[in-house]
Chain A
C-alpha cells in the first residue's frame, strides 16, 4: 500500500509544482517564474542538507544560517580579485597574527599534556594564553586598521583569490565542513533540544563575526561586485546573434536577455541539485544509510551493535553542513553580492525546517519537493496576501483606517500561512508529503511521532 502512495505521489506533486510555476510564467511573467525557480533550487539544496542531518540521523541543527553565510564568505574569498594595497598594508601583520594565534593554541594544547603537576598546569596555561592573546592583538589591531583604511569606500578588505566563482561552490562546502567539524566536536555531545539551541546560538555568533570583521569581507558594508558565472544581460544585448534570435522568436531583447541569463543560472544550480540528490540518494540506500537510520531510530541498540554513535553523528553533521555551505555559495553567486546582515538566524532557519518537515523528513525527494513548495508559497504569499486582503476588505470604504491597516500588513500573512501549514501537516501527515521509504522488512516499524520519549 505504501508502495502505491510513494510511486504515484512524487510524480503528481512535481507536476503540480511545475504547473504552478508555469502559471506564474503565463500570468505574471517568465522572468518572475525563473527567478522563483532559481531560489527554489537553492532552497531545495538547503533542505537536502538539513534532511541529511535530521532525516537520516535525527540531529536537530538550527545553525543553518551560519553555514549558509560561510558558503557566502567562500564565494567572496574565492571570486573577488585580491586587493594588493591591502595585502601590502596589513598582510604581513595578519599573517603574524595568524601565526601567533596558532602558536598560542598549539602551546596551550601541548602544555595541557606536557605538564604533569596539576597545580602548575592551570596557571601556566593561563599565562601562555594571556601572553599569546596580547601578542596576537598587537599584530591584529594595527593591521586591521591598515587594511580597512585602504580605499575603504570600495575595498577596505583583503579581497579574494580572483578565481572563477563556480569554484567557490566547492570552497563553500569545504569551509562549512571545516567549521562544522569544530562545532560538532563542541556540541554533538548534547541531546536534541540543547543541540538545537546551541547551534542556533553558534550561527548567531558566526553571523556576528562576519558582520563585524570588515577586513575579511567588508562586514555590513557588503561586497556587491562579485563576478558572475554567466554573461551579463547588457553584453548579450550587444551581440548580433542575440538580436537576431530575439527578432526570430519575436521577443523584446531586454526581456529575452533576462530570461536567458536566469535560465543559464537555473541550469547550473539544477545540475548541482541533481548531483547532490543522486549522491545523497545513493548514500541513504547503502549500508551506511541504513546504519544511520538505525542509529536514529534506536541509538542504544546501534551502540550495542558496535557503532560509534558520536563519530557517525559528527560525520553526518559535517556532510549536511557541507551541503548547506554549497547552497550558501550558490545563493551569493546568484545574488551577485554578499550581505552578512541578511543572514539573520531567525529569519530563514525555521523556514528551511518547515521545508523539510512538510516535504517529508528522511526522504530526499520529499526535502526537495518541500524546498520547491515552501519557497513558492513564501514568495507568492507576499503577493497573494494583499490581493486576498483587498478582496476581503472590498466591502469597507476605500479610506477606512481598518482597510488601510489591513492592506499594509497583508504581506505578513505568509508567517501565519507557514505556521498553519506546518501544524496541519504535522497533525494530518506527520511524515510529510512524501513519507520516508522504509525497507521491505522495515528497519523499524514504529513511527517517529509515536515513539516513547
Chain B
C-alpha cells in the first residue's frame, strides 16, 4: 500500500522545485528590507527589540520551567507517577530560601551585587529535601512496598500537595513576597542605547543572567551525576527496568532516597529562580504546575533532555505567541495599525496547553519519545 511504503521508507528527498520556490520567496522578502535606506540599523533595531522582549524572557522562563520539569521527569522515571505536589515543593523550597535570606539580611550578610538568596539557597534545599523525605517515608514508601498502581501514587501526591500548600500558607502566608536584592541590572536600557547608538534599548536584569548561569551549571552537574557516578547509573538502570535493576542488587530504597533529594533540590532552585525573577506567591507556584507538566510531557516524560527541550518550547511559544510584533515589523518596513499579536496576553496561560494537546495528538510520546504512561 502507498501509505506503508511512505512510513517505512527513507525520509523523502528535498524536491528541487520546492527549494527554488522557497529561496525566491525569501529573497523577495529580504531584498526590500536590505535595500531600504538605513536598513542595516533598522534590522538591528528590530533584532534588539525581539531579543529584549522575546529571546531574553523566553530563555529565562524556559530555564525555570526546564529545572522544574527535570524534577517531575526524574520522579516519573524512577517512581512512575506524576507528582502533583511538585509545584508546592518548589514553593516550600523557595519559602525556605526567603526565610534564610531574611535572617542573613538581618545579620548584615550579603553577596554584594548578587542577591542574598544565592547564599540562602542551601537552607532552602535542606528544607525541601527534608519535607520530600518525610513524605517518602510516611506516604510513598508504603505504596511502593505494596507495588500499588500509579493512580494511587498520584492521589497520594494530591494529598501531599494539599499538605505542602497548607504548610507554606501557614508559615509564610498567602501574600506576595519580594526578596531580590543586590544590583538590579547588568545592562540598562539607557546604557545600551548610548553604547550602541541604536534607538531601541536592551535590558538584562541580574536575575535573568543568574537564572541562565545557574540553570546551565545545575543541568551539567545533573547530567554528570546521572552518567558518571555509580549512583546515577543505578538510578537510570532502575528507571529503565525495575526488575532487572533489583536482580542486579540495586537497593530500591537508596534509589528512591536520592531521587527525592535530587527532585527537591531541583525544585528549590527552580522555585527560587522564579521567585527572584518575578515574585513569590504560593498560589502562583501551585499554578506553575501546569506549564511544568506541559514541558515534561512535550519533551517526552521520563527523559531529562526532553524536559529541558520542553521547557524552552513551552516558554518560547507562550511568549512568542502573545507578544505584539507591531514595533518589530515597523523597523522592518511593514507599518500596520494592528498590534500583530497572535493571541491576546490573557491567553498566555492557555498556550502551553494548546501546545500540549497538539503534541499529544501528533506525537503522543513527546519530542524525545518518552515513556508511555
Contact = CB atoms under 8 A, between A and B. Distances in A.
A87 B369 CA distance: 50
A423 B372 contact: no
Contacts of B373: 190-194
Contacts, number: 151
B353 A205 contact: yes
Given A412-B174, A422-B159, A423-B160, A193 B166 contact: no
Interface stretch (A29-37, A307-315, A413-421): A413-421
Contacts of A211: 346
Interface string B74-94: 000000111010000000000
A196 interface: yes
Main secondary structure of the interface of B (DSSP, over half): helix
Given A417-B166, A450-B148, A190 B159 contact: no
Nearest to A351: B162
A414 B166 contact: yes
B4 interface: no
Interface string A186-216: 1101111110111011101100110110000
A225 interface: no
Contacts of A412: 166, 169-170, 173-174
B179 interface: no
A430 B149 CA distance: 12
Interface stretch (B39-47, B223-231, B289-297): B289-297
A201 B150 contact: no
A371 to B, nearest CB: 17
Nearest to B172: A409
Contact of A186 (B82, B139, B283, B357): B357
B152 A448 contact: yes
B161 interface: yes
Contact of B163 (A205, A408, A419): A419
Contact of A453 (B150, B164, B167, B360): B150
B240 to A, nearest CB: 16
Interface in A407-453: 408-409, 412-420, 422-423, 426-427, 430, 448-453
Nearest to B282: A412
Interface string B284-314: 0011011001100100000000000000000
A423 B139 contact: yes
B347 A430 contact: no
Given A193-B150, A453-B149, A198 B357 contact: yes
Contacts of A186: 357, 361
Given A186-B357, A413-B166, A192 B350 contact: no
Interface residues of B, number: 55
A67 to B, nearest CB: 16
Contacts of A198: 353, 356-357, 360
Given A194-B373, A419-B159, A452-B147, A427 B142 contact: yes
B259 interface: no
B357 A419 contact: no
B165 A415 contact: yes
Contact of A192 (B151, B166, B361): B151
Given A204-B350, A208-B347, A427-B142, A415 B166 contact: yes
A409 B166 CA distance: 10
Nearest to B352: A201
A208 B143 CA distance: 37
Contacts of B169: 409, 412, 415
Interface in A4-58: 58
Given A201-B356, A418-B162, A196 B170 contact: no
B85 to A, nearest CB: 9
Contact of A416 (B143, B167, B283, B293): B167
Interface in A253-284: none
B154 A422 contact: no
A150 to B, nearest CB: 21
A350 B154 contact: no
Contacts of B286: 346
Contacts of B290: 197, 200-201, 204
A422 B155 contact: yes
A416 B168 CA distance: 10
Nearest to A361: B155
B222 interface: no
A189 B363 CA distance: 12
B161 to A, nearest CB: 7
Nearest to A452: B147
Nearest to A208: B350
Interface in B335-373: 344, 346-347, 349-350, 352-354, 356-357, 360-361, 364, 372-373
Nearest to B170: A409
Contacts of A430: 152
Contact of A194 (B171, B347, B360): B360
Given A186-B361, A190-B360, A419-B160, A208 B349 contact: yes
Contacts of B294: 197, 201
Contacts of B174: 409, 412
B8 interface: no
Nearest to A423: B159
B156 interface: yes
B344 A212 contact: yes
Nearest to A191: B373
A190 B359 CA distance: 12
Interface in A373-412: 405-406, 408-409, 412
A317 interface: no
B158 interface: yes
Interface in A91-147: none
A297 B173 CA distance: 43
B297 A350 contact: no
A357 interface: yes
A423 B142 contact: no
Contacts of B196: none
B170 A420 contact: no
Contacts of A416: 162-163, 166-167, 170
Interface in B163-190: 163-167, 169-171, 173-174
A169 interface: no
Contacts of B357: 186-187, 198, 201-202
Contacts of A189: 364
A52 to B, nearest CB: 17
Contacts of A451: 148-149
Contacts of A204: 290, 349-350, 353
Interface in A157-207: 186-187, 189-194, 196-198, 200-202, 204-205
A343 interface: no
A353 interface: yes
B5 interface: no
B74 to A, nearest CB: 15
B323 to A, nearest CB: 17
B97 to A, nearest CB: 19
Contacts of A409: 169-171, 173-174
Contacts of B241: none
Contacts of B150: 192-193, 453
B154 A192 contact: yes
25 contacts: A60-B154, A187-B360, A192-B373, A193-B82, A193-B373, A197-B82, A197-B290, A198-B356, A200-B290, A202-B353, A350-B161, A353-B158, A415-B165, A415-B169, A418-B162, A419-B161, A419-B166, A422-B158, A422-B162, A423-B139, A426-B155, A426-B159, A427-B142, A430-B152, A450-B146
